[in-house]
Structure 1
Amino acid sequence: MGKYFGTDGFRGEANVNLTVEHAYKVGRFLGWYYGQRAKKTADNPEGRCRVAIGKDTRRSSYMFEYSLVAGLTASGADVYLLHVTTTPSVSYVVRTEEFDCGIMISASHNPYYDNGIKVINGKGEKLEEDVIVEIERYLDGEMEELPFALKDAIGRTTDYAAGRNRYIGYLISIATRSFKGKKVALDCANGSASAIAKNVFDALGAETHVINNHPNGLNINTDCGSTHIHVLQDYVKESGCDVGFAYDGDADRCIAVDENGSVVDGDLILYICGKYMKEIGTLRNNTVVTTIMSNFGLYKAFDREGISYEKTAVGDKYVYENMSQYGNCLGGEQSGHIIFSKHATTGDGILTSLKVMEVMLEKKETLGKLASEVEILPQVLKNVRVKDKKEAQDDPAVQAEVAKATETLGADGRILLRQSGTEPVVRVMVEAPTTEQCEMLVDQVIEVMKAQGHVL
């Protein structure tokens, strides 16, 4: 991770550690960088740099959009505005319509006052590290000032809502069966999914019930969406739905709820889809890519089904790198970032919903029955806001407490400390035979962090 860019872009509190000046300079650099590499084509005879921009529903997203556009056009790039849309839709438009790069303005599952700049390369993948290094050099004034475009070389801005509509059509085309007769609840987190998800499920014939789809700029992720799954759980039970799907702010995550109101997280989705894909012969390499945060119970279930698995660092970026390198076609995270490489190059919450629906319909089973085949080991994860992530994690006293917990657990569980790639947070996770033991060991580590003065 760099000084500004983490595992999922440049993220921070709007106008505090992510400012309009930062956005303007990111735009200036990207317009210049891709402008040097733009090629003349039949659709682009002038060889101009073309950049697609999407945003989520945060109040500050408009501010950053305008600032990025100013920087990009000042460097000579033509900008196409997708308006409020999802991160995976930006990726889809960029890779299918020959854009030089794409930008998504979002802080994903973070509160409304945070925001972020995610940059996507021309293949629809997350930006290469070497380009990120150059952006950070420019942000820190370590490069010569970039030239401004002049006269007719100055960039233009185009309304491109049509690109988002094409993505909606693409999602609809992926479904293998009608959803008629299925009562489906969608929690749109007052975010990007509000502009897309209902259209897709309605078009496929579902009886669609949507909650938290009235964004006002301040309510994105507030007691709703994939990070507050209890809201959807209650709704599914009270409304008698067959299934529910909750998204995060930019809809690249999906957490499901079965007909009983039980949570079906990313690990269970990987199992359900992986087992089905193996049965129909589409699970390439007979392998599913997971992260080190996945539950032991998932691996036991995969072993039982004869499915191989990989483990990567946490972050859908690392999952996709593994999939791309080894040709694997299914991967994801417990948090709900699921990648189906046949259809997408990023996690896609709405696509994930469609693939779960496919398994339910093709196998004629409830989601609860499909998920019941995995026995999940109790797991407790707590996020600790700290002054300095690295100092808190590397503190000798903290590490000694972790070693003590590891010895206590033996072969019956594990403890994991991990720095967030997007927030000033250290995540403390324990898996153990009982939830009580998980809670106790997590709290003991957090108490040491507090005693050492790391906790905010």
Structure 2
Amino acid sequence: MGRLFGTDGVRGVANADLTAELALGLSVAAAHVLAEAGTFEGHRPVAVVGRDPRASGEFLEAAVVAGLASAGVDVLRVGVLPTPAVAYLTGVLGADLGVMLSASHNAMPDNGVKFFARGGHKLADELEDRIEAVYDEHRTGAPWDRPTGSGVGRVRSYDEGFDQYVAHLIAVLPNRLDGLKVVLDEAHGAAARVSPEAFARAGAEIITIGTAPNGLNINDGCGSTHLDLLKAAVVEHGADLGVAHDGDADRCLAVDHTGAEVDGDQILAVLALAMRERSALRSDTVVATVMSNLGFKLAMEREGVSLIQTAVGDRYVLEEMKEHGYALGGEQSGHVIILDHATTGDGTLTGLMLAARITQTGRTLQDLASVMERLPQVLVNVPDVDRSRVNSSAELAAAVVEAERELGTTGRVLLRPSGTEPLVRVMVEAADIDHARSVAGRLADAVKSALG
């Protein structure tokens, strides 16, 4: 059996790759690994369980809850809430673990299981490996140690979680949003109630789209992966900005008043300068991944902000931040982590902080985002190749060296295997878009030749 955990939990087509049996077994294994770590006399382990609105989330939630309760864990079902809300509630309620059922920005047929450790933190690789090992041991025949009688877990709904999370978001805002008109695209996802409520309580005038989830329409032509509806709505309503989330609302992209996209790199740049101004950007440092636009790096250098880059994945950004005490990090895709107020990427919090900066400065988002110039960036996905040999192919290494020589100091190349799909991603940046496309096309051909 290959490794179950990818870059963000266990994910696949619901009821095909990700079955009820798998969800139940993983939950029991997670209970044994995560709950037993804090076991002491008289302690009953507790788990917080939430989901996004996908239809498959209903039966997968039932499986997860059954697995946890059968392992002796008391379960608080918080219902449909964003991933960062489940992480926050896991921490604030002192739970032993949290579970979120979501496939984030993926299409509706997919779903996923994400675990959080005590405090609401994503799992380190070694914890995921331990959960997999326990799961596999029992899948192949070893019996579970099952409690009986009063030892089984109890299950109850925890409806207070919605208000607790919204109140937390409002409490950490540096200023109110009175006078600001905002269009929110909630992707028919987990933040369909939370985000409009938070922005309205903060004083903004809001227009909403993507706030009618029916279990089947999540991320369907809307949200952070499909910005056209948001761009049109911002222009139509004369809004100051638009904010888009993905299905589980752990990421945020924005649109300025002209309808132009503001990506995660630009949002990080705006928030970095805002946090430095109020002495909240510890060590004057921001953490991003190697996928960040070269323009972001150049802008931070010019502004005197140090940039540390990690492997792709918000978990690696978070690990770097936690290890060295940095306050801000994120990805171009819109995963932004503000570690003083969240343990994971939080799209609603990010959108609120961005809006607060506009209100506080009186400047447009277009003006604020102009602190960095995005260099043309071309991303090509090459499917049906052996992604495991990306770093070992001599033929591919030679092609990369030649591309880097051609680009010189005005661009860069990045090849990486996808963590969730059977493909290799080729990214090329250059001062000229046509040049970037040309180099990316040749590298994609090289990947097919070397790894096909």
TM-score range, shorter chain: over 0.9
The structure 2 residue matched to 1:79, chosen from 75, 91, 95, is 75
Greater alpha carbon shift after TM alignment, 397-406 vs 203-212: 397-406
Query: What does residue 441 of structure 2 align with?
Result: 443
Query: What does residue 97 of structure 1 align with?
Result: 93
When residues 31 and 184 of structure 1 are mapped into structure 2, their CA distance, relative to the original with a 3 A threshold, is same
User: What's the offset of the Cα at 1:403?
Assistant: 3.0
User: What's the offset of the Cα at 1:406?
Assistant: 1.9
Matched, 1:190 2:188: yes
Any idea what SS the aligned residue of 1:181 has? coil
Q: 1:451 & 1:325 partners in 2: Cα distance?
A: 40
User: What's the offset of the Cα at 1:7?
Assistant: 1.7
Greater alpha carbon shift after TM alignment, 211-220 vs 25-34: 25-34
Query: What does residue 121 of structure 2 align with?
Result: 125
Q: 1:286 & 1:31 partners in 2: Cα distance?
A: 39
Superposition map of 1:395-406 within 5 A: 395-406=393-404
Q: 1:116 & 1:245 partners in 2: Cα distance?
A: 24
Q: 2:423 & 2:378 partners in 1: Cα distance?
A: 16
Contact persistence 1:22–1:139 (CA under 8 A): no
Query: What does residue 242 of structure 1 align with?
Result: 240
Contact persistence 1:378–1:433 (CA under 8 A): yes
Q: 1:3 & 1:451 partners in 2: Cα distance?
A: 27
The structure 1 residue matched to 2:50, chosen from 48, 54, 78, is 54
Contact persistence 1:393–1:426 (CA under 8 A): no
Counterpart code for 2:88: Y
Unaligned runs of 5+ in 1: none
Contact persistence 2:383–2:423 (CA under 8 A): yes
Any idea what SS the aligned residue of 2:188 has? coil
User: What's the offset of the Cα at 1:354?
Assistant: 1.1
Contact persistence 2:78–2:161 (CA under 8 A): yes
Q: 1:259 & 1:186 partners in 2: Cα distance?
A: 13
Counterpart code for 2:126: D
Query: What does residue 304 of structure 1 align with?
Result: 302
User: What's the offset of the Cα at 1:33?
Assistant: 3.1
User: What's the offset of the Cα at 1:35?
Assistant: 4.3
When residues 387 and 141 of structure 1 are mapped into structure 2, their CA distance, relative to the original with a 3 A threshold, is farther
Q: 2:193 & 2:185 partners in 1: Cα distance?
A: 12
Greater alpha carbon shift after TM alignment, 374-383 vs 61-70: 374-383
The structure 1 residue matched to 2:60, chosen from 61, 64, 76, is 64
Query: What does residue 33 of structure 2 align with?
Result: 33
Greater alpha carbon shift after TM alignment, 254-263 vs 405-414: 405-414
Query: What does residue 13 of structure 1 align with?
Result: 13
Q: 2:388 & 2:269 partners in 1: Cα distance?
A: 33
Any idea what SS the aligned residue of 1:226 has? helix
Any idea what SS the aligned residue of 1:257 has? strand
User: What's the offset of the Cα at 1:251?
Assistant: 0.4
Counterpart code for 2:104: S
Contact persistence 2:102–2:111 (CA under 8 A): yes
Alpha-carbon displacement from aligned partner over 1:320-361 (angstroms, at most 9, x marks no partner): 111111111011111111111110111100000111112111
Matched, 1:381 2:379: yes
When residues 37 and 280 of structure 1 are mapped into structure 2, their CA distance, relative to the original with a 3 A threshold, is closer
* Aligned residues between the structures: 449
User: What's the offset of the Cα at 1:306?
Assistant: 1.0
Q: 2:137 & 2:278 partners in 1: Cα distance?
A: 54
Contact persistence 1:32–1:146 (CA under 8 A): no
Any idea what SS the aligned residue of 1:310 has? strand
Q: 1:128 & 1:451 partners in 2: Cα distance?
A: 35
Contact persistence 1:220–1:249 (CA under 8 A): yes
Contact persistence 2:35–2:97 (CA under 8 A): no
Contact persistence 2:243–2:254 (CA under 8 A): yes
When residues 37 and 113 of structure 1 are mapped into structure 2, their CA distance, relative to the original with a 3 A threshold, is same
Percent identity, aligned pairs only, is 42
Contact persistence 2:389–2:451 (CA under 8 A): no
User: What's the offset of the Cα at 1:34?
Assistant: 4.0
When residues 393 and 217 of structure 1 are mapped into structure 2, their CA distance, relative to the original with a 3 A threshold, is farther
Any idea what SS the aligned residue of 1:5 has? coil
Alpha-carbon displacement from aligned partner over 1:216-275 (angstroms, at most 9, x marks no partner): 222211211111122211221222110001111110000111111111111111111111
Any idea what SS the aligned residue of 2:160 has? helix
Q: 2:123 & 2:371 partners in 1: Cα distance?
A: 38
User: What's the offset of the Cα at 1:39?
Assistant: 4.5
Contact persistence 1:330–1:338 (CA under 8 A): yes
Counterpart code for 1:55: R
Q: 1:237 & 1:14 partners in 2: Cα distance?
A: 37
Contact persistence 1:268–1:298 (CA under 8 A): yes
Q: 2:216 & 2:234 partners in 1: Cα distance?
A: 25
Query: What does residue 419 of structure 2 align with?
Result: 421
Contact persistence 2:11–2:18 (CA under 8 A): yes
Counterpart code for 1:26: L
Superposition map of 1:90-169 within 5 A: 90-141=86-137, 144-169=142-167
Q: 1:81 & 1:331 partners in 2: Cα distance?
A: 30
Any idea what SS the aligned residue of 1:359 has? helix
Alpha-carbon displacement from aligned partner over 1:353-374 (angstroms, at most 9, x marks no partner): 1111121111111101111121
Q: 2:164 & 2:118 partners in 1: Cα distance?
A: 18
Contact persistence 1:32–1:76 (CA under 8 A): no
The structure 2 residue matched to 1:321, chosen from 307, 319, 322, is 319
Q: 1:395 & 1:18 partners in 2: Cα distance?
A: 32
Alpha-carbon displacement from aligned partner over 1:271-303 (angstroms, at most 9, x marks no partner): 111112222222110111111111111111111
Q: 1:223 & 1:157 partners in 2: Cα distance?
A: 36
User: What's the offset of the Cα at 1:437?
Assistant: 1.5
Q: 1:212 & 1:68 partners in 2: Cα distance?
A: 28
